């Protein structure tokens, strides 16, 4: 193997170790009996003690329930808006407001969260002064704030997916007399459905994880799960947070592995179908 090959592969292995050691350490220490996260109490470990502590903590459970409701609503709204925006950007060519839409869908992705959070809170405060809505900050304002940055991610996912498909199917449907709305529902949407699903999941994760923007727009009285975690970890390490991390990592890891296997399976089936079709044509 060439020298560059050896060097880059070593870097890859070390980089992956760097990415995964912290996550593994969280998982291992979640089974540790000691309250001191870093001292392994070999006599009484492994134990599920901290999982018990976590699941009987009313504050954590309430926050998780709020985060779940917000994430489902925000992901669904983002998927709808992002699909419309992504389709427009990939298919409608040069329409009025295009560059504005491009700008407004790229910027939220990189915008420092403190700025997005501050600006959204000031928006809600101004709206409240102007039209008396929204009276209180809470689940609704958090959801609206999350949609505003999550939809940008969905837009990018949809747009890059559509960039990979040629437009001949849609053009054929149009030539056969289908109206634009029908073309979208019958041709475009089925083609991009996996991307819409991926976008929904991405939006769900981003909303579920968001701390900074929620902190600005949550108002007193409503705390999302990351807000509760943040107030716990600011006081130092706490083993029940490790248990929570382990639960979240296992859900995500199994989800991603299943999704990857399923997509590979679909890919293989499609390739086989193509081969069969090619053979039948001969």
User: Cα separation of 131 and 119, whole Å?
Assistant: 18
How many CB atoms sit inside 10 A of residue 189's CB? 13
Q: Does residue 228 belong to the site contacting another protein (CB under 8 A)?
A: no
| Among 60, 173, 218, 229, contact with another protein (rule: CB under 8 A) | 229
DSSP assigned state of 36:
S
| Among 72, 101, 140, 191, contact with another protein (rule: CB under 8 A) | 101
How many CB atoms sit inside 10 A of residue 108's CB? 16
At closest approach, how far in Å is the CB of 263 from another protein?
9
Q: Does residue 100 belong to the site contacting another protein (CB under 8 A)?
A: yes
Give, as ranges, the residues between 113 and 152 that touch another protein (CB under 8 A).
113-115, 118-120, 122-123, 125-126, 129, 144-145, 147-148, 151
Strands (E) across 116-188 are located at none
Q: Does residue 84 belong to the site contacting another protein (CB under 8 A)?
A: yes
For another protein, the closer of residues 109 and 274 by Cβ is 109
Of 44-52, 53-61, 100-108, 273-281, the window that binds another protein (rule: CB under 8 A) is 100-108
User: Cα separation of 149 and 163, whole Å?
Assistant: 22
Structure token digits, residue 272: 């086989």
How far the first Cα of the chain sits from its last, in Å, is 43
**CB neighbour list of residue 177: distance below 8 Å, 6 or more residues apart:** none
At closest approach, how far in Å is the CB of 99 from another protein?
9
Q: Does residue 65 belong to the site contacting another protein (CB under 8 A)?
A: no
Q: Does residue 39 belong to the site contacting another protein (CB under 8 A)?
A: yes
Strands (E) across the chain are located at none
- Taking the mean position of all CA atoms in its chain, how far away is CA 108? 14
Task: Give the per-residue contact string, 195-224, with another protein (x = CB under 8 A; - = no).
Answer: ----------x--xx-xx---x--------
Q: Does residue 281 belong to the site contacting another protein (CB under 8 A)?
A: no
The H or E element that residue 92 is part of is: none
| Among 31, 37, 66, 192, contact with another protein (rule: CB under 8 A) | 37
Q: Cα dihedral angle (160, 165, 167, 170), rounded to 10 degrees?
A: -100
Of 42-50, 57-65, 97-105, 169-177, the window that binds another protein (rule: CB under 8 A) is 97-105
């Amino acid at each position: 193997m060439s020298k560059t090959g050896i060097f880059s592969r070593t870097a890859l292995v070390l980089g992956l170790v760097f990415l995964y050691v912290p996550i593994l350490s969280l998982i291992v220490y979640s089974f540790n009996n000691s309250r001191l996260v870093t001292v392994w109490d070999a006599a009484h470990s492994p134990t599920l003690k901290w999982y018990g502590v976590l699941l009987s903590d009313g504050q954590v459970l309430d926050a998780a329930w709020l985060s779940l409701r917000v994430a489902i609503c925000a992901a669904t709204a983002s998927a709808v808006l992002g699909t419309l925006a992504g389709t427009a950007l990939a298919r409608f060519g040069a329409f009025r407001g295009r560059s504005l839409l491009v700008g407004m869908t790229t910027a939220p992705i990189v915008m420092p969260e403190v700025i997005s959070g501050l600006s959204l809170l000031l928006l809600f405060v101004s709206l409240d002064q102007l039209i008396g809505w929204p009276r209180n900050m809470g689940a609704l304002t958090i959801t609206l704030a999350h949609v505003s940055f999550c939809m940008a991610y969905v837009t990018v996912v949809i747009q890059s997916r559509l960039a990979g498909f040629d437009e001949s199917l849609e053009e054929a449907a149009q030539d056969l007399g289908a109206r634009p709305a029908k073309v979208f529902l019958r041709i475009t949407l089925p083609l991009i459905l996996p991307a819409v699903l991926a976008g929904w999941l991405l939006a769900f994760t981003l909303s579920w994880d968001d701390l900074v923007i929620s902190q600005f727009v949550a108002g007193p009285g409503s705390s999302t799960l990351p807000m509760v975690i943040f107030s716990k970890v600011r006081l130092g390490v706490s083993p029940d947070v490790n248990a929570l991390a382990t639960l979240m990592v296992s859900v995500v890891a199994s989800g991603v592995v299943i999704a990857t296997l399923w997509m590979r399976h679909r890919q293989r089936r499609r390739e086989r179908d193509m081969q069969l079709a090619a053979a039948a044509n001969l």
